[in-house]
A = this chain, B = another copy of it.
């Protein structure tokens, strides 16, 4: 038999005392499709806000096969040894928890999953990318309230998710592999340019020459892009997560980034900009939700879309017609 739901106060106290169990339950509320659970989740979040914002938030991406799990496990273990508290979140709009991704996440990061100062949470399931991203951002805040001082947000590196993630993290790390000149294959336009660091993974003994070559190529490519607003010049490093090579240097660079941006004010101004961005995203999401869920719109939209595609009605007239249906 299911136990009764905790009170708002019990949730907030539990999270602030660092209980991972209660944190998990609160995140489940945030992710719920039931509106009364979501509302409770929002109330809990509001009460936790005073304990948020103090972590460093790092986005990590790369194509499947680049070794993200091993990388996060290796780097994460090192951070835990240094006394950090680490939360690892994932954004994958295509994921479905029923396919066993909870088990999957525990299997692919066994050391982190078992460690008392780490918290691994798989991607929220279902819904649009916007919805998945919103839930992840709220989860970041809850994790911070629970005392996690380092947050990793992992994405798959093949789509739009990275842009959403960039708007919720302070630092964006792109993992790459050394290849034969085609390093960018599979990396969507624009992802490379938003990276604050490129790390070429699997640069072990037999790969080191190719990796160094790739490193030089990426350096050249990055040098062609305009300077980052943060004042930071994205470095290109090589590492081997499996053999634990290069991770110290990599983390030093990340710490340098945070020193620089906290000193020059970019860290703070970027966080403020992100918060206002998310408010506007939330407004748009909710407006669109109401529009596209409206029964008149659901009925007429496919008909008008067809007419627009064949050119028998202009895009603008179709939009106006739909807006009228929405308001009546």
How far, in whole Å, are A94 and B292 apart by their CA atoms in the complex? 33
How far, in whole Å, are A285 and B284 apart by their CA atoms in the complex? 10
Contact partners of A287 in chain B: CB under 8 A: 287-288, 291, 323
Among A52, A186, A276, chain B packs the most CB atoms within 10 A around the CB of A276
Which one of A9-17, A42-50, A243-251 is at the interface? Answer: A42-50
How far, in whole Å, are A313 and B316 apart by their CA atoms in the complex? 37
Chain B residue nearest to A189 (CB atoms) is B193
Residues of chain A in range 270-291 having any CB-CB distance to chain B below 8 Å: 272, 275-276, 278-288, 291
> Could you jot down 12 A-B contacts, CB within 8 Å?
A45-B314, A46-B314, A49-B311, A190-B193, A272-B309, A272-B310, A275-B308, A279-B305, A282-B320, A283-B323, A284-B288, A287-B288
How far, in whole Å, are A263 and B208 apart by their CA atoms in the complex? 45
Residues of chain A in range 288-308 having any CB-CB distance to chain B below 8 Å: 288, 291, 304-305, 308
A interface vs B, CB < 8 Å?
42, 45-46, 49, 52-53, 134, 137-138, 141, 181-190, 193-194, 221, 223-226, 272, 275-276, 278-288, 291, 304-305, 308-320, 322-323
Q: Are B184 and A283 in contact (CB under 8 A)?
A: no
Given the known inter-chain contacts A190-B193, A309-B276, please indicate yes or no for A283 contacting B224, CB distance below 8 A. Answer: no
- Please pick, from B181, B283, B291, B316, the residue contacting A42 in the complex, using a CB distance under 8 A: B316
Q: Are B46 and A275 in contact (CB under 8 A)?
A: no
Contact partners of A318 in chain B: CB under 8 A: 279, 282
How far, in whole Å, are A239 and B138 apart by their CA atoms in the complex? 52
Contact partners of A184 in chain B: CB under 8 A: 224-226
Q: A73 to nearest B CB, angstroms?
A: 29
Q: Which 7 A-B pairs have the closest CB atoms?
A: A282-B319, A278-B315, A279-B315, A189-B193, A272-B309, A184-B224, A283-B319
Chain B residue nearest to A226 (CB atoms) is B185
Q: A219 to nearest B CB, angstroms?
A: 13
Chain B residue nearest to A39 (CB atoms) is B320
How far, in whole Å, are A64 and B222 apart by their CA atoms in the complex? 23
Given the known inter-chain contacts A282-B315, A316-B134, please indicate yes or no for A309 contacting B189, CB distance below 8 A. Answer: no
Given the known inter-chain contacts A52-B311, A311-B52, A312-B49, please indicate yes or no for A319 contacting B279, CB distance below 8 A. Answer: yes
Q: Are B308 and A276 in contact (CB under 8 A)?
A: yes
Chain B residue nearest to A227 (CB atoms) is B185
Contact partners of A282 in chain B: CB under 8 A: 315-316, 318-320
With A272-B310, A276-B305 given, name 12 new contacts (CB 8 A). Answer: A46-B314, A46-B317, A141-B314, A181-B224, A184-B226, A186-B226, A275-B308, A278-B316, A279-B304, A279-B319, A282-B315, A283-B323
Contact partners of A272 in chain B: CB under 8 A: 309-310
- Please pick, from B190, B221, B286, the residue contacting A319 in the complex, using a CB distance under 8 A: B286
